[in-house]
Structure 1
């Protein structure tokens, strides 16, 4: 315990210097992310986060690991959810944790050279603790980054779906639903729910569904269209389907799809005139 307290004090005396050395040696040529900033306020915040990391991490030298992790968890959670770091490429983050680990390894070696009482076993134990903690932080940060990116992608996908399947009110109770691109199961479900809600909100009585921009209609897409048309009928909305291209009509015939019960016209212009 005596040596643990001595090396703890040794690190405490060097906390600010650790942060300054780290920042001064930082590669500031990164094309993006928190490490590339030249904003004084963001730099000060970055240094503060780094300083508190050292202040918390050095507690490992005098605390039991279970107690240490309970205390350190707040810092890990803060950094793992910090948008500045989450918007920084993950390989830049891991690079800095690696450089920080090297700082600790060097300081442990420096301390051991100044203290004859320190044997190799004690050195290895200290280094092993530091490596385990930093690996745990990297793992947790990577997991949080993954979750953040997934949420971001889902939000973007939802926005794209909304923009690519809008119900556009024309005149009176008539509206247009122009569909473009590929339609997979998830998008088809979104179109069904979104269209019904928008038609109800806009008090639509007749919806023109144009599929001239749809790349391909297979059994699943056709089934979803039929579901949409049936659901619209249940809420009092008539439907007209336009824009079925020759190659799509041929595919529909080959697949045995039946459009007999669906009112269809060849072009959107005819649908609007109708």
Structure 2
């Protein structure tokens, strides 16, 4: 083992708490976990997380083994999840990496000036490059994990939105209404198909009114997806009725060659329910 590298590793580890305090003392007021006014438990967590980071940086001067690599990967994942949970923008964390990199560089300079060892210019440059590369490696690792965490959360949120945007409302034991609002793309149409089929089976429906009055545009793709939903429902014994196709939308559909002649369509949900003998008694 290179004794100079070992001495540098031990120096950084010995300075760990002081380096972290210097970083924390440099914080400014901001609406994030990095604010100098952050809650004490946030500051404690930052100290613990930074301690693990410093340990990896220091020990990486001595050896880069699989155990250390797995530990820093776990660290990056945990920190990414933590920052995502506090809605900390990635650019804020990148800024903090940059600040602490400068603190580590200053610590390296202090070691070179204070240690009683002969250190060549090549060794200084090598340490500098190694430190820069190590911090960059951890930053890239963190960015990758942060992207994975936030993407996973966005996907889960989108799934929930899709489910909430296509609810089937039972209006009798065997009849339901599916109001569709907003634009329909391929992904949303797929979710509507899946959710509608599942809900109709679960609710034991035999008739479903699909109201499109909230859909601004119906093109060939949207029409195809709607027909696919209706065809699939027919296979499980559910009759589908369309309502709410506005005149301008119907005109566009005709111009695009979309044929609704084999589909039961009505100008409004009210008219569709009336035409299918669904009536509610007037309350006197």
TM category, shorter: over 0.9
Measured in 2, the distance between the counterparts of 1:157 and 1:18 equals 41
Answering whether residue 43 of structure 2 is matched by residue 16 of structure 1, we say: no
- 1:1-274 matches, cutoff 5 A: 1-27=2-28, 29-32=29-32, 34-36=33-35, 38-63=38-63, 65=64, 67=65, 70-82=67-79, 83-86=81-84, 87-114=87-114, 115=116, 117-273=118-274, 274=276
Measured in 2, the distance between the counterparts of 1:201 and 1:180 equals 22
Q: Indicate the SS of the match to 2:241.
A: strand
Measured in 1, the distance between the counterparts of 2:69 and 2:267 equals 66
Any gaps of 5 or more consecutive residues in structure 1? none
Measured in 2, the distance between the counterparts of 1:56 and 1:189 equals 46
Measured in 1, the distance between the counterparts of 2:150 and 2:13 equals 36
> CA RMSD of the aligned region, Å?
1.6
**1:114-156, CA deviations, whole angstroms, 9 ceiling, x for partnerless residues?**
2461121111111111111110111111111111221122112
Q: Is the 8 A contact 1:79 1:85 kept in 2?
A: no
Measured in 1, the distance between the counterparts of 2:235 and 2:112 equals 80
Q: Indicate the SS of the match to 1:207.
A: strand
Q: Is the 8 A contact 2:13 2:55 kept in 1?
A: yes
Q: Is the 8 A contact 1:80 1:141 kept in 2?
A: yes
Measured in 2, the distance between the counterparts of 1:196 and 1:97 equals 49
Any gaps of 5 or more consecutive residues in structure 2? 277-284
**1:184-205, CA deviations, whole angstroms, 9 ceiling, x for partnerless residues?**
0111111111101100000001
Q: Is the 8 A contact 2:76 2:138 kept in 1?
A: no
TM-score by length of 1: 0.93
Q: Is the 8 A contact 1:10 1:111 kept in 2?
A: yes
Measured in 2, the distance between the counterparts of 1:73 and 1:25 equals 30
Q: Indicate the SS of the match to 1:107.
A: helix
Q: Is the 8 A contact 2:72 2:138 kept in 1?
A: no
TM-score by length of 2: 0.90
- Quote how far apart the aligned CAs of 1:170 are: 0.7
Measured in 1, the distance between the counterparts of 2:83 and 2:76 equals 7
Measured in 2, the distance between the counterparts of 1:57 and 1:160 equals 42
Measured in 1, the distance between the counterparts of 2:204 and 2:106 equals 71
Q: Is the 8 A contact 1:165 1:191 kept in 2?
A: yes
Measured in 2, the distance between the counterparts of 1:54 and 1:201 equals 55
Measured in 1, the distance between the counterparts of 2:118 and 2:72 equals 33
Measured in 2, the distance between the counterparts of 1:167 and 1:104 equals 59
Q: Is the 8 A contact 2:180 2:212 kept in 1?
A: yes
Greater Cα offset, 40-49 or 170-179 = 40-49
Measured in 2, the distance between the counterparts of 1:199 and 1:47 equals 53
Number of residues paired by the alignment?
269
Q: Is the 8 A contact 1:57 1:72 kept in 2?
A: no
Measured in 1, the distance between the counterparts of 2:17 and 2:227 equals 67
